[in-house]
Structure 1
């Protein structure tokens, strides 16, 4: 039986992915900081393996990998889905909150991936990182989140090349805005969100994760609108990309 370990699994994209992979016959491991919703999801999935932890806690992460992979010592897919988001004007958000976004979205992802290496190598497995459309061009009103997704993009590209020698595939999912509790709970609405709208559900991104497992790509863009922006951004002069982002983010 194939196995997938999902961080940030208690809600949103992580939970939708857990349900989808479980329904398709995979052994699913669930990691999240929220103990109660994690327990509820594990029960829903027939007692799926789960562990409440903070992805920035190195020892807890290492113990979780041992606990899930067990004697077999193999992991087919690691889905780094844990992340936090804060919309707002840069100067109005506390520095501690900016640091928290980077700590979880970047260092947490690095820590889990590093701990999972030996198990991924044994299975010649795959890493799926949760990227974002905001990792394509710096996005106003979500400065630290956008910076974190640039870091995820850079790590994905680097590891995709470096881990080829181990037979490990590495890629990222790049959706625009998704209807999840993380987005719905924000008190500030960026102009870019008002103009582009929320056109994706968590289940849409879960399906993209399934396609990524079956046909890996370094960058898997989600939704035709962002796909168009992504590919036009690869060939357009930087000034054009900047102008587009400036228009999208204008009050």
Structure 2
């Protein structure tokens, strides 16, 4: 049996991933700050390990990783916990900007550090980080979220080199907009969403996570044909093209 630990596992992409791995016979561990949703998910997925967890609490992350791994090991860490707030940069409070960075970046580092000693013991260790298409170019109305995903991208690249020497693959998943509550329930809807469309669901991302956990993928794993085309265009076209495109899409 293989073991996967998922942060933010009680809703959206984390929940879809937990369901997929559980269906395929993995031992699944999930954490989330939403205790009600967490208990409901654990009741649905028989035998699922779960614990309420705030990933910004490094000591709590250490305890959770240790307790999950004590049941048999830890092969895959999926750093999925994250938050998003769309809007004009100046209309979002400093506290909210800080929370986005704390959860999306510091929380990911906390959990990776906590899982590290147990990943070393696995013969097929993988860390999969939830990144975003917003890590390709600073996205208007997503400024601090986009900044957080740039950081995730950099962390992924650096750790894949460092930890790769120790037998731990580190990759990320980079989707554009996904049909989840984080996007659908937002108070402000960025124009770029309606121009690009929401063409992916949580199950599409879960399938990419499954592939990354079971195959030797590239470091960055873009999801969706439209975003893959944008990445190709970004490499082939002059540097200012993406900037002009972002200006158009965000009007």
TM-score by length of 2: 0.97
The corresponding residue for 1:234 is 235
Indicate the residue corresponding to 2:3 in structure 1.
Answer: 3
Q: Distance in 2 between matches of 1:71 and 1:200?
A: 34
Structure 1 residues 111-170: Cα deviation after superposition (integer angstroms, max 9, x where no partner) = 000111111111040000000000000000010000000000000011111111111001
Map Cα deviations across residues 82-110 of structure 1 (whole Å, 9 max, x no partner).
Answer: 00000000001111000000000000000
The equivalences for 1:42-121 within 5 A come to 42-70=42-70, 72=72, 74-121=73-120
> Structure 1: which 4+ aligned runs deviate by more than 3 Å?
none
Instruction: Provide the rounded CA distance (Å) in 1 between the counterparts of 2:61 and 2:86.
Output: 28
SS of the residue aligned with 2:30? Answer: strand
Q: Decide whether aligned partners of structure 1 residues 162 and 60 sit closer, same or farther in structure 2, where only a CA change above 3 A counts.
A: same
Moved more, 211-220 or 155-164: 211-220
RMSD of aligned residue pairs (Cα, Å): 0.9
Give the gaps of 5 or more residues in structure 1.
none
How far 1:71 moved relative to its partner? Answer: 5.9
SS at match of 1:123: coil
Q: TM-score, normalised by structure 1?
A: 0.97
Gaps of at least 5 residues in structure 2 are none
- Distance in 1 (CA, whole Å) between partners of 2:195 and 2:236 is 23
Residue 205 (structure 1) aligns with: 205
| SS of alignment partner, residue 120 of structure 2 | helix
- Secondary structure of 1:122's counterpart equals coil
